[in-house]
Copies of this chain bind each other. A is one copy, B any other.
Amino acid sequence: MAKINLRPLDDRVVVKPSDAEEVTAGGIVLPDAAQEKPQRGKVVAIGGGKLLDSGKRGELSVTIGDEVIYGKYGGSDVEVDGQELKILRESDILAKVV
């Protein structure tokens, strides 16, 4: 996969969605038909963190390379170099696959 030329703002991350029906190392199956189910993907870019009232930025809990589960309807789809990517806020990410 080519280097991603996107730098998301604030607490956003860019995720490359996994192919449907794939069985992960952790054995998580997310069938294509599961229309309402959360989706799985890999984090390919992260933002600088949410601006706090103190003026500092909160550290993100995910990093590039993490496998994550996220709500199907969160975020925005963008197409980069022919790849479909998703720009999500960190709060749309439910869990990391570890």
Residues of A within 8 A of B (CB): 2, 5-10, 12, 14, 24-31, 34, 36-38, 45, 47-48, 51-56, 58, 61-62, 69, 71, 76-82, 87, 90-91, 93-98
A54 to chain B, nearest CB (A): 7
Q: Could you tell me the dominant secondary structure of chain A's interface residues? A: loop
Output the residue of A25, A30, A69, A77 with the most chain B CB within 10 A: A69
Residue of B56, B95, B96 near A55 (CB, 8 A) is B56
Closest 5 CB pairs of A and B: A5-B26, A27-B81, A8-B95, A6-B95, A7-B96
The complex places the Cα of A27 from the Cα of B81 at a distance, in Å, of: 5
Residue of B38, B61, B78, B91 near A78 (CB, 8 A) is B38
